[in-house]
Amino acid sequence: MKASKKKLFLLIPTLLLTSCGYGLKEVYDGVPYNSPIFEENYFDVWHDKINPSHKKYSVNKIEEEHTIGEDDLPFTSLEDENFKLLDPNFINYEYTYDIVKPEGDKKAYGPSVKLSGYDNSFKYGVSSKLFDGQMFCNGHYQNARTQIRPASENSHGGFGLLFVKECSNASYFMMNFKCSLVTDKNQNLGYLESNIKFKISFYLRNDDGYTQVPLYYSINNVPTNSGDDHFLPPFAQREDMYVCLGFNLKNNAYIPSSRLCGISIEYELLSDTYSPSHPDENISHAVMLYEISFPYTSWN
């Protein structure tokens, strides 16, 4: 009887121990980052341990600046020859709007290589929007885009995430995005283009904390905003309105692909096609990031 009683009482601490609130790390009163006010939608979340302005910051910085060059096989579309070199299955993919099923045996690229498909830990939290395979806007903005703030004098902008698990065999990196620009007047500015410089940092776990591996890449003529004609529904969903940027990670001398467990993305607005002709107007700019992936990976 005594043993039975002990077993019964063991149930209570077991329940309390399991009450870790794993699903409660991010809770919201409503749907976040979906305000009609542009400025309120910036996703500027930084994990404490990789946030330079936080006490818990524990990152060893690699000071050397590495700019993505031709050796890293960068690509900006799935038609790019470098993409064909990096992805052995390139022939099976179509860079198509997610809801439209590709014809024949081809598969939509985004849903095929989404991180949440490789590991369930990517399904939790508001950042899961970046890992769900939806590479284009389908009208449900809150479900799709992550709006990134540009670097300024006061802020480094961007966001920084640490993953629950580690990746040890990354083959290449991919992200899909476009830009957005609004003014105080909040009018429709029509189709524009932006020149931006990314700082993409990978975080590798080490004994003391994390090692940051920063990579820089400049890209010009990034599609910004939709066109004037809103009666053409495919316009905002057209594949050529987005940039699918990626580069090699496998056997890369500078980028070790072992113990990869985090990412931060910052950018600097170099120029845009609107500001020069409207020097008196205040503008707000953002990179609308839709998807991030490390295709063909396993996470432990």
Please select the residue that binds other proteins; options are 128, 171, 183, 195, rule is CB under 8 A. Answer: 128
Shortest distance, position 268 Cβ to other proteins, whole Å: 28
CA distances from 190 to 228, 230, 269, 285 (A): 5, 10, 19, 14
Judged by CB under 8 A, does residue 123 bind other proteins?
Answer: yes
Smaller CB distance to other proteins: residue 72 or 132?
132
Within a 13 Å sphere around the CA of 45, how many CA atoms are in the beta-carbon half?
15
**CA 262 – CA 50 distance, rounded (Å):** 9
Q: Of 138-146, 189-197, 199-207, 239-247, which segment contacts other proteins by CB under 8 A? A: 138-146
Smaller CB distance to other proteins: residue 73 or 135?
135
Judged by CB under 8 A, does residue 79 bind other proteins?
Answer: no
Within a 13 Å sphere around the CA of 225, how many CA atoms are in the beta-carbon half?
22
Shortest distance, position 12 Cβ to other proteins, whole Å: 8
**CA 204 – CA 212 distance, rounded (Å):** 7
Q: CB–CB of 142/31 below 8 Å?
A: yes
Judged by CB under 8 A, does residue 45 bind other proteins?
Answer: no
**CA 124 – CA 116 distance, rounded (Å):** 9
3-state secondary structure of 116: helix
**CA 86 – CA 200 distance, rounded (Å):** 19
Smaller CB distance to other proteins: residue 31 or 100?
31
Number of Cβ within 10 Å of residue 271's Cβ equals: 12
Strand partners, 75: 246
Smaller CB distance to other proteins: residue 182 or 292?
292
Please select the residue that binds other proteins; options are 51, 77, 143, 273, rule is CB under 8 A. Answer: 143
**CA 77 – CA 244 distance, rounded (Å):** 5
Judged by CB under 8 A, does residue 109 bind other proteins?
Answer: no
Shortest distance, position 27 Cβ to other proteins, whole Å: 4
Smaller CB distance to other proteins: residue 26 or 79?
26
Please select the residue that binds other proteins; options are 112, 142, 275, 284, rule is CB under 8 A. Answer: 142
Please select the residue that binds other proteins; options are 45, 62, 126, 283, rule is CB under 8 A. Answer: 126
3-state secondary structure of 21: coil
Shortest distance, position 209 Cβ to other proteins, whole Å: 27
Within a 13 Å sphere around the CA of 15, how many CA atoms are in the beta-carbon half?
6
Q: How many residues sit in the footprint of other proteins (CB under 8 A)?
A: 34
3-state secondary structure of 6: helix
Residue 166: which of 250, 261, 50 has the closest Cα?
261
Number of Cβ within 10 Å of residue 181's Cβ equals: 20
Judged by CB under 8 A, does residue 145 bind other proteins?
Answer: no
**CA 5 – CA 67 distance, rounded (Å):** 65
Smaller CB distance to other proteins: residue 23 or 104?
23
Q: Of 73-81, 103-111, 141-149, 167-175, which segment contacts other proteins by CB under 8 A? A: 141-149
Judged by CB under 8 A, does residue 99 bind other proteins?
Answer: no
Q: For residues 9-38, which are near other proteins according to CB under 8 A?
A: 11, 14-16, 18-24, 26-31
Judged by CB under 8 A, does residue 124 bind other proteins?
Answer: yes
* Sites of contact with other proteins (CB under 8 A): 1, 4, 8, 11, 14-16, 18-24, 26-31, 116, 123-129, 131-132, 134, 142-144
